[in-house]
């Protein structure tokens, strides 16, 4: 959602976008999320990304702009979890498991993997474009509407 889905990590190259995405860059939509969330200072962020498993929460969050880092309260993955179960679970199960643990009064999940999201989560889910993320107009508008709600 903050950049194209096809991101890789290699020892010598570091974190990079896949071939064919030369016109994109990592976290290209971070300021879009900053702007969308600005009117809602009480909205917090839970990271649901493989970056947390690979880098750890603090390092993964450090890639975000400061205003988003300040809102990040945790991740769907934590060190007390069984890594194999987590990595083999669909994203929807990871997110809904976290929602069950945290019990927020309201929540919205943004993900480019729309598979398996049950109908009862439609009011809480925004399907992001795998390449354009939040900068896709329909994604931007849907997230804006759900934040307003």
Could you give the percent of the chain with pLDDT greater than 90? 57
Q: To the nearest 10°, report the CA torsion of 59, 62, 68, 70.
A: 80
User: What's this model's pTM, rounded to 2 decimal places?
Assistant: 0.86
> pLDDT (tens digit, 9 = 90+) per residue, 20-31?
878 888 888 899
Residues 73, 44 contacting (CB under 8 angstroms):
yes
Closest CA relative to residue 2, chosen from 46, 53, 63: 63
CA 32, 35, 40, 41 dihedral sign is positive
d(C-alpha 3, C-alpha 8), whole Å: 12
Would you kindly state where each structural domain of the chain is located, as residue ranges? 7-148
Q: How confident is the model at residue 105 (pLDDT cuts 50, 70, 90)?
A: very high
> pLDDT (tens digit, 9 = 90+) per residue, 38-85?
999 999 999 998 888 888 899 999 999 999 999 999 999 988 888 888
């Amino acid at each position: 959602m903050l950049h194209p889905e096809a991101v890789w990590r290699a020892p010598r190259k570091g974190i990079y976008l896949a071939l064919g995405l030369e016109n994109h860059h990592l976290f290209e939509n971070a300021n879009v999320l900053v702007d969308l969330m600005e009117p809602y200072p009480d909205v917090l962020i839970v990271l649901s990304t493989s970056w947390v498993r690979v880098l750890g929460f603090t390092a993964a969050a450090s890639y975000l702009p400061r205003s988003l880092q300040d809102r990040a309260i945790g991740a769907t993955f934590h060190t007390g979890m069984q890594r194999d179960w987590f990595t083999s679970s669909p994203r929807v199960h990871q997110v809904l498991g976290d929602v069950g643990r945290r019990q927020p009064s309201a929540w919205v999940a943004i993900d480019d993997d729309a598979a398996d999201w049950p109908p009862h989560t439609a009011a809480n889910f925004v399907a992001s474009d795998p390449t354009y993320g939040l900068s896709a107009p329909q994604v931007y508008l849907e997230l804006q509407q759900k934040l307003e709600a």
